[in-house]
Amino acid sequence: MHADILRALPAPACAYVYDTAALRARAEMVRRALPVAASLLYAVKANGHPAVIAALAEACDGLEVASGGELARAVAAGAERIVFGGPAKTDAELSAAVAAGALINVESVHELRRLASIAPTPPRVCLRVNRPGGVLRGSHAMTGTPTPFGIEEAQLAEAMRVPGVTVIGFHLHAVSNNLDGAAHAAFVRDCLAWSVRTARELGIALQVVNVGGGFGIDYLSGSSMDLSPLTGIAVPPDVDLIFEPGRFLAADAGAYAATVLDIKTTHGRTFAVLRGGTHHFRLPAAWGYSHPFTVVPVDEWPHPYPRPSAENCLVDAVGELCTPRDVLTRGQHVDSLRAGDILVFGRAGAYGWDISHHEFLRHDPPAFLIR
Protein backbone atom coordinates (compact mmCIF):
# COMPACT_ATOMS: atom_id res chain seq x y z
CA MET A 1 0.00 0.00 0.00
CA HIS A 2 1.43 3.39 -1.07
CA ALA A 3 4.81 1.62 -1.56
CA ASP A 4 5.95 3.63 -4.58
CA ILE A 5 5.14 7.06 -3.21
CA LEU A 6 6.84 6.16 0.07
CA ARG A 7 9.99 4.91 -1.68
CA ALA A 8 10.02 8.16 -3.68
CA LEU A 9 10.26 10.29 -0.53
CA PRO A 10 13.65 11.68 0.50
CA ALA A 11 15.22 9.21 2.94
CA PRO A 12 14.66 8.76 5.78
CA ALA A 13 10.91 8.83 5.03
CA CYS A 14 8.39 9.92 7.60
CA ALA A 15 4.88 10.63 6.39
CA TYR A 16 1.16 10.43 6.83
CA VAL A 17 -0.72 9.45 3.69
CA TYR A 18 -4.40 10.41 3.54
CA ASP A 19 -6.50 8.95 0.75
CA THR A 20 -9.50 11.15 -0.08
CA ALA A 21 -11.03 8.57 -2.45
CA ALA A 22 -10.99 6.07 0.43
CA LEU A 23 -12.70 8.65 2.66
CA ARG A 24 -15.48 9.15 0.13
CA ALA A 25 -15.91 5.42 -0.40
CA ARG A 26 -16.12 4.84 3.33
CA ALA A 27 -18.73 7.58 3.78
CA GLU A 28 -20.75 6.02 0.97
CA MET A 29 -20.53 2.61 2.63
CA VAL A 30 -21.65 4.00 5.99
CA ARG A 31 -24.53 5.90 4.43
CA ARG A 32 -25.83 2.75 2.73
CA ALA A 33 -25.79 0.94 6.08
CA LEU A 34 -27.69 3.61 8.03
CA PRO A 35 -31.50 3.90 8.09
CA VAL A 36 -32.67 5.79 5.01
CA ALA A 37 -33.95 8.76 7.00
CA ALA A 38 -30.78 9.25 9.05
CA SER A 39 -28.23 12.06 8.71
CA LEU A 40 -24.51 11.33 8.58
CA LEU A 41 -22.06 13.88 9.98
CA TYR A 42 -18.30 13.47 10.33
CA ALA A 43 -16.77 14.14 13.78
CA VAL A 44 -13.85 16.40 12.88
CA LYS A 45 -11.79 15.67 15.99
CA ALA A 46 -10.80 12.26 14.56
CA ASN A 47 -8.78 14.03 11.86
CA GLY A 48 -8.91 17.78 11.28
CA HIS A 49 -6.63 17.95 8.24
CA PRO A 50 -8.24 20.41 5.80
CA ALA A 51 -8.18 17.87 2.94
CA VAL A 52 -9.89 15.26 5.11
CA ILE A 53 -12.51 17.75 6.33
CA ALA A 54 -13.17 18.94 2.78
CA ALA A 55 -13.64 15.40 1.43
CA LEU A 56 -15.98 14.37 4.23
CA ALA A 57 -17.92 17.66 4.31
CA GLU A 58 -18.88 16.81 0.75
CA ALA A 59 -19.40 13.06 1.18
CA CYS A 60 -21.45 13.39 4.39
CA ASP A 61 -24.38 15.66 5.27
CA GLY A 62 -22.16 17.88 7.38
CA LEU A 63 -19.64 18.03 10.20
CA GLU A 64 -19.63 17.71 13.99
CA VAL A 65 -17.14 20.02 15.70
CA ALA A 66 -15.92 20.26 19.28
CA SER A 67 -14.05 23.59 19.43
CA GLY A 68 -13.88 27.03 17.90
CA GLY A 69 -10.87 25.90 15.87
CA GLU A 70 -12.75 22.97 14.38
CA LEU A 71 -15.75 25.21 13.80
CA ALA A 72 -13.61 27.63 11.77
CA ARG A 73 -12.27 24.77 9.66
CA ALA A 74 -15.76 23.38 9.11
CA VAL A 75 -16.98 26.79 7.95
CA ALA A 76 -13.94 27.12 5.66
CA ALA A 77 -14.70 23.68 4.21
CA GLY A 78 -18.18 24.86 3.28
CA ALA A 79 -19.98 22.28 5.41
CA GLU A 80 -23.71 22.33 4.72
CA ARG A 81 -24.60 21.46 8.32
CA ILE A 82 -22.53 21.94 11.45
CA VAL A 83 -23.24 20.52 14.89
CA PHE A 84 -21.18 21.91 17.79
CA GLY A 85 -20.66 20.03 21.06
CA GLY A 86 -18.21 19.93 23.94
CA PRO A 87 -18.42 20.62 27.69
CA ALA A 88 -16.16 23.71 27.79
CA LYS A 89 -17.41 26.18 25.22
CA THR A 90 -16.37 29.81 25.68
CA ASP A 91 -18.68 32.76 24.99
CA ALA A 92 -16.61 33.50 21.86
CA GLU A 93 -17.10 29.94 20.63
CA LEU A 94 -20.83 30.03 21.33
CA SER A 95 -21.13 33.34 19.44
CA ALA A 96 -19.17 31.95 16.48
CA ALA A 97 -21.39 28.86 16.43
CA VAL A 98 -24.55 30.99 16.43
CA ALA A 99 -23.12 33.14 13.63
CA ALA A 100 -22.26 30.03 11.61
CA GLY A 101 -25.78 28.67 12.00
CA ALA A 102 -24.51 25.58 13.83
CA LEU A 103 -26.82 23.40 15.87
CA ILE A 104 -25.41 23.56 19.39
CA ASN A 105 -25.45 20.61 21.77
CA VAL A 106 -25.70 22.29 25.15
CA GLU A 107 -23.91 20.46 27.94
CA SER A 108 -25.12 22.19 31.14
CA VAL A 109 -27.87 24.45 32.46
CA HIS A 110 -25.25 27.18 32.98
CA GLU A 111 -24.17 26.90 29.32
CA LEU A 112 -27.82 27.16 28.28
CA ARG A 113 -28.19 30.43 30.22
CA ARG A 114 -24.96 31.81 28.73
CA LEU A 115 -26.06 30.91 25.22
CA ALA A 116 -29.48 32.51 25.73
CA SER A 117 -27.85 35.76 26.84
CA ILE A 118 -25.43 35.81 23.88
CA ALA A 119 -27.71 34.87 20.99
CA PRO A 120 -29.57 37.75 19.31
CA THR A 121 -32.60 35.52 18.66
CA PRO A 122 -33.53 32.36 20.57
CA PRO A 123 -31.35 29.59 19.10
CA ARG A 124 -32.63 26.07 18.47
CA VAL A 125 -30.54 23.67 20.54
CA CYS A 126 -30.19 20.05 21.56
CA LEU A 127 -29.55 19.07 25.15
CA ARG A 128 -26.71 16.65 25.64
CA VAL A 129 -27.88 14.19 28.25
CA ASN A 130 -25.89 11.86 30.48
CA ARG A 131 -28.59 9.25 30.85
CA PRO A 132 -28.65 6.61 33.54
CA GLY A 133 -27.90 3.24 32.01
CA GLY A 134 -27.57 3.27 28.23
CA VAL A 135 -24.04 2.02 28.69
CA LEU A 136 -22.26 0.50 25.71
CA ARG A 137 -18.99 -1.36 25.84
CA GLY A 138 -16.11 0.47 24.20
CA SER A 139 -12.92 2.27 25.06
CA HIS A 140 -14.45 5.30 26.77
CA ALA A 141 -17.90 5.39 28.36
CA MET A 142 -19.36 8.88 28.45
CA THR A 143 -22.80 8.33 29.88
CA GLY A 144 -24.36 6.31 32.67
CA THR A 145 -21.31 7.17 34.74
CA PRO A 146 -19.87 10.38 36.24
CA THR A 147 -18.34 12.44 33.40
CA PRO A 148 -18.13 16.14 32.45
CA PHE A 149 -20.36 15.45 29.44
CA GLY A 150 -23.98 16.44 29.28
CA ILE A 151 -26.81 17.15 31.67
CA GLU A 152 -28.13 14.62 34.13
CA GLU A 153 -31.69 13.50 33.49
CA ALA A 154 -32.86 14.93 36.84
CA GLN A 155 -31.76 18.43 35.71
CA LEU A 156 -33.65 18.45 32.41
CA ALA A 157 -36.76 20.07 33.90
CA GLU A 158 -34.60 22.94 35.18
CA ALA A 159 -32.99 23.25 31.74
CA MET A 160 -36.44 23.54 30.16
CA ARG A 161 -37.23 26.56 32.35
CA VAL A 162 -34.33 28.60 30.86
CA PRO A 163 -35.89 31.29 28.65
CA GLY A 164 -34.43 32.45 25.33
CA VAL A 165 -33.63 29.06 23.74
CA THR A 166 -35.72 26.51 21.88
CA VAL A 167 -34.95 22.88 22.69
CA ILE A 168 -35.54 20.69 19.64
CA GLY A 169 -33.95 17.43 20.68
CA PHE A 170 -31.25 15.48 22.43
CA HIS A 171 -27.63 14.55 21.94
CA LEU A 172 -26.75 11.16 23.38
CA HIS A 173 -23.21 10.28 22.21
CA ALA A 174 -22.14 7.61 24.68
CA VAL A 175 -19.11 5.61 23.69
CA SER A 176 -15.96 5.31 21.62
CA ASN A 177 -14.87 2.31 19.59
CA ASN A 178 -17.78 -0.03 20.17
CA LEU A 179 -17.24 -3.24 18.19
CA ASP A 180 -20.68 -4.80 18.67
CA GLY A 181 -23.06 -3.72 15.89
CA ALA A 182 -26.11 -5.42 17.38
CA ALA A 183 -25.51 -3.72 20.73
CA HIS A 184 -25.10 -0.40 18.90
CA ALA A 185 -28.43 -0.86 17.13
CA ALA A 186 -30.08 -1.65 20.48
CA PHE A 187 -28.49 1.51 21.90
CA VAL A 188 -29.87 3.63 19.03
CA ARG A 189 -33.37 2.17 19.41
CA ASP A 190 -33.21 2.85 23.14
CA CYS A 191 -32.07 6.45 22.44
CA LEU A 192 -35.05 6.97 20.12
CA ALA A 193 -37.56 5.50 22.58
CA TRP A 194 -36.10 7.47 25.48
CA SER A 195 -36.11 10.69 23.44
CA VAL A 196 -39.74 10.32 22.33
CA ARG A 197 -40.83 9.59 25.90
CA THR A 198 -38.74 12.35 27.50
CA ALA A 199 -39.70 14.96 24.91
CA ARG A 200 -43.35 14.21 25.63
CA GLU A 201 -42.79 14.58 29.37
CA LEU A 202 -40.90 17.86 28.97
CA GLY A 203 -43.18 19.33 26.29
CA ILE A 204 -40.51 19.36 23.57
CA ALA A 205 -41.57 19.12 19.91
CA LEU A 206 -38.92 16.50 19.11
CA GLN A 207 -37.03 17.17 15.86
CA VAL A 208 -33.53 15.82 16.46
CA VAL A 209 -32.09 12.72 18.10
CA ASN A 210 -28.30 12.70 17.82
CA VAL A 211 -26.83 9.34 18.81
CA GLY A 212 -23.23 10.44 18.28
CA GLY A 213 -20.41 8.27 17.00
CA GLY A 214 -18.51 5.37 18.47
CA PHE A 215 -18.55 2.85 15.60
CA GLY A 216 -15.48 0.79 16.38
CA ILE A 217 -12.60 -0.68 14.48
CA ASP A 218 -10.40 -3.46 15.79
CA TYR A 219 -6.77 -2.52 15.20
CA LEU A 220 -5.48 -5.97 16.10
CA SER A 221 -7.72 -8.14 13.95
CA GLY A 222 -8.31 -5.67 11.12
CA SER A 223 -12.09 -6.00 11.47
CA SER A 224 -14.66 -3.26 12.06
CA MET A 225 -18.04 -2.97 13.73
CA ASP A 226 -20.77 -4.57 11.61
CA LEU A 227 -23.09 -1.72 10.64
CA SER A 228 -25.81 -3.91 9.14
CA PRO A 229 -27.89 -4.15 12.36
CA LEU A 230 -28.41 -0.36 12.09
CA THR A 231 -30.09 -0.51 8.69
CA GLY A 232 -33.52 -1.60 9.85
CA ILE A 233 -33.95 0.91 12.66
CA ALA A 234 -37.33 2.66 12.40
CA VAL A 235 -37.02 6.43 12.73
CA PRO A 236 -40.12 8.23 14.04
CA PRO A 237 -41.67 10.57 11.46
CA ASP A 238 -40.37 14.15 11.58
CA VAL A 239 -37.31 13.13 13.61
CA ASP A 240 -33.83 13.75 12.24
CA LEU A 241 -31.73 10.86 13.53
CA ILE A 242 -28.09 12.01 13.42
CA PHE A 243 -25.03 9.76 13.47
CA GLU A 244 -21.64 11.43 13.79
CA PRO A 245 -18.84 8.86 13.56
CA GLY A 246 -15.22 9.95 13.43
CA ARG A 247 -12.94 6.94 13.73
CA PHE A 248 -14.95 4.67 11.46
CA LEU A 249 -14.89 7.19 8.60
CA ALA A 250 -11.26 8.30 8.81
CA ALA A 251 -9.15 5.44 10.22
CA ASP A 252 -8.78 3.31 7.11
CA ALA A 253 -8.08 6.29 4.84
CA GLY A 254 -4.81 7.10 6.57
CA ALA A 255 -1.45 5.42 6.96
CA TYR A 256 1.61 6.45 8.93
CA ALA A 257 4.99 5.49 7.51
CA ALA A 258 8.50 5.76 8.91
CA THR A 259 11.93 4.55 7.83
CA VAL A 260 13.85 2.12 10.03
CA LEU A 261 16.99 4.03 11.11
CA ASP A 262 18.60 1.26 13.14
CA ILE A 263 18.04 -2.32 14.23
CA LYS A 264 19.56 -3.57 17.43
CA THR A 265 19.18 -6.31 20.00
CA THR A 266 19.58 -5.59 23.70
CA HIS A 267 18.98 -8.04 26.53
CA GLY A 268 17.31 -10.44 24.13
CA ARG A 269 14.81 -8.06 22.46
CA THR A 270 15.15 -6.73 18.95
CA PHE A 271 14.22 -3.13 18.23
CA ALA A 272 13.52 -1.41 14.93
CA VAL A 273 14.21 2.27 15.65
CA LEU A 274 12.16 4.60 13.46
CA ARG A 275 12.38 8.13 12.07
CA GLY A 276 9.12 8.85 13.79
CA GLY A 277 7.16 7.51 16.74
CA THR A 278 4.43 8.20 19.25
CA HIS A 279 4.82 12.00 18.93
CA HIS A 280 3.28 11.53 15.46
CA PHE A 281 1.11 8.49 16.14
CA ARG A 282 0.20 8.29 19.81
CA LEU A 283 -2.80 5.99 19.61
CA PRO A 284 -1.04 2.67 20.35
CA ALA A 285 0.77 4.20 23.35
CA ALA A 286 -2.39 5.92 24.58
CA TRP A 287 -4.42 2.73 24.41
CA GLY A 288 -1.64 0.30 25.26
CA TYR A 289 -1.85 -2.03 22.27
CA SER A 290 0.53 -3.04 19.49
CA HIS A 291 -0.36 -1.44 16.17
CA PRO A 292 0.37 -3.87 13.31
CA PHE A 293 2.70 -2.76 10.52
CA THR A 294 3.68 -3.91 7.05
CA VAL A 295 7.17 -3.63 5.59
CA VAL A 296 7.96 -1.71 2.40
CA PRO A 297 11.36 -3.07 1.38
CA VAL A 298 13.85 -0.51 0.07
CA ASP A 299 16.62 -2.32 -1.74
CA GLU A 300 19.13 0.52 -2.20
CA TRP A 301 21.87 0.66 0.40
CA PRO A 302 24.42 3.22 -0.84
CA HIS A 303 26.66 3.07 2.23
CA PRO A 304 30.09 1.40 2.59
CA TYR A 305 29.27 -0.02 6.06
CA PRO A 306 27.12 -3.08 6.82
CA ARG A 307 23.35 -2.78 6.81
CA PRO A 308 21.67 -3.60 10.15
CA SER A 309 19.05 -6.29 9.64
CA ALA A 310 16.87 -8.87 11.37
CA GLU A 311 15.57 -12.15 9.98
CA ASN A 312 12.67 -14.33 11.05
CA CYS A 313 12.27 -12.85 14.51
CA LEU A 314 10.06 -10.66 16.66
CA VAL A 315 10.77 -6.94 16.66
CA ASP A 316 9.53 -3.96 18.64
CA ALA A 317 8.85 -0.92 16.44
CA VAL A 318 10.01 2.05 18.52
CA GLY A 319 10.33 5.76 17.88
CA GLU A 320 12.98 8.46 18.04
CA LEU A 321 11.96 9.87 21.44
CA CYS A 322 14.18 9.47 24.49
CA THR A 323 11.69 7.47 26.50
CA PRO A 324 11.10 3.71 26.69
CA ARG A 325 7.39 4.41 26.18
CA ASP A 326 7.88 5.47 22.57
CA VAL A 327 6.62 2.12 21.29
CA LEU A 328 4.23 1.59 18.39
CA THR A 329 4.36 -2.20 18.19
CA ARG A 330 5.72 -4.92 20.43
CA GLY A 331 6.85 -8.32 19.25
CA GLN A 332 5.64 -8.40 15.65
CA HIS A 333 7.18 -11.14 13.54
CA VAL A 334 9.24 -10.09 10.52
CA ASP A 335 10.64 -12.38 7.85
CA SER A 336 13.26 -9.82 6.95
CA LEU A 337 13.77 -6.23 8.02
CA ARG A 338 16.69 -3.94 7.24
CA ALA A 339 17.68 -0.42 8.19
CA GLY A 340 16.37 1.74 5.36
CA ASP A 341 13.16 -0.26 4.91
CA ILE A 342 9.92 1.57 5.64
CA LEU A 343 7.30 0.44 8.15
CA VAL A 344 3.71 1.32 7.27
CA PHE A 345 1.09 1.51 10.01
CA GLY A 346 -2.33 1.28 8.38
CA ARG A 347 -5.65 2.48 9.83
CA ALA A 348 -3.87 5.56 11.15
CA GLY A 349 -6.25 8.15 9.69
CA ALA A 350 -8.21 8.74 12.91
CA TYR A 351 -6.84 9.89 16.27
CA GLY A 352 -3.31 9.59 14.86
CA TRP A 353 -1.50 12.87 14.26
CA ASP A 354 -4.40 14.79 15.81
CA ILE A 355 -3.98 13.38 19.32
CA SER A 356 -0.18 13.28 19.39
CA HIS A 357 2.31 15.44 21.32
CA HIS A 358 4.12 16.87 18.32
CA GLU A 359 6.56 19.17 20.06
CA PHE A 360 8.18 16.66 22.41
CA LEU A 361 11.90 16.54 21.42
CA ARG A 362 11.30 18.93 18.49
CA HIS A 363 11.92 16.44 15.71
CA ASP A 364 10.77 17.43 12.23
CA PRO A 365 7.10 16.71 11.59
CA PRO A 366 6.09 14.05 9.07
CA ALA A 367 5.23 14.93 5.51
CA PHE A 368 1.51 14.90 4.74
CA LEU A 369 0.71 13.30 1.40
CA ILE A 370 -2.85 13.72 0.14
CA ARG A 371 -4.08 11.45 -2.61
* Residues in touch with ligand PLP (CB under 6 A): 43, 45-46, 64, 66, 85, 173, 176-177, 212-215, 244-248
> Closest by alpha carbon to 105, among 211, 201, 216?
211
Least distance to ligand PLP, CB of residue 247, Å: 4
User: What is the nearest approach in angstroms of ligand PLP to the Cβ of residue 285?
Assistant: 18
SS3 readout for 37-87: CCEEEEEHHHCCCHHHHHHHHHHCCEEEECCHHHHHHHHHCCCCCEEECCC
- Tell me which residue of 201, 200, 198, 192 sits closest to 237, measured CA to CA: 192
Exposure letters 85-96 (e unless 16+ CB within 10 A, then b): bbeebeeebbbb
* Phi and psi, residue 340, nearest 5°: 100, -20
- Closest to 263 (Cα-Cα) out of 229, 323, 306: 306
Residue 296 pairs in a beta bridge with 342
**Closer of 84 and 345 to ligand PLP (Cβ):** 84
- How many other C-beta atoms lie within 10 A of the C-beta of residue 283? 24
Report the nearest approach of ligand PLP to the CB of residue 335 (Å).
34
DSSP letter string, 88-104: ---HHHHHHHHHTTPEE
> How many angstroms separate the CA atoms of 142 and 328, rounded?
27
For helices 50-59 and 20-33, what crossing angle results, to 10°?
30
**Does residue 322 carry a catalytic annotation?**
yes
The distance of closest approach from Cβ of residue 6 to ligand PLP in the complex, given in angstroms and rounded to an integer, is: 26
Taking the least distance from each CB to ligand PLP, the nearer of 46 and 165 is 46
* Cβ distance to ligand PLP smaller for residue 5 or 141: 141
**Angle value at C-alpha 188, between 136 and 102, nearest 5 degrees:** 105
* Smaller CB separation from ligand PLP, 48 or 319: 48
Residue at 131: amino acid letter = R
Report which of 173, 164, 62 is spatially closest to residue 127, judged by C-alpha positions: 173
Of 210 and 329, which has the nearer Cβ to ligand PLP? 210
Instruction: Please report how close the Cβ of residue 176 comes to ligand PLP at its closest, in angstroms.
Output: 4
Instruction: Round to whole Å and give the CA distance between 118 and 98.
Output: 9
- Return d(Cα 275, Cα 162) in angstroms, integer: 54
Using Cβ positions, the residue closest to ligand PLP within the complex turns out to be: 213
Closer to ligand PLP by CB, 249 or 315: give it. Answer: 249
What is the smallest separation between the CB atom of 80 and ligand PLP, expressed in angstroms? 18
Among the listed residues 98, 99, 149, 150, the one whose alpha carbon sits nearest the alpha carbon of residue 124: 98
Q: Which is nearer to ligand PLP, 128 or 280 (CB)?
A: 128
Q: What's the min distance (Å) between Cβ of 296 and ligand PLP?
A: 28
Distance (Å, rounded) from C-alpha 348 to C-alpha 305? Answer: 34
Catalytic residue numbers? Answer: 322
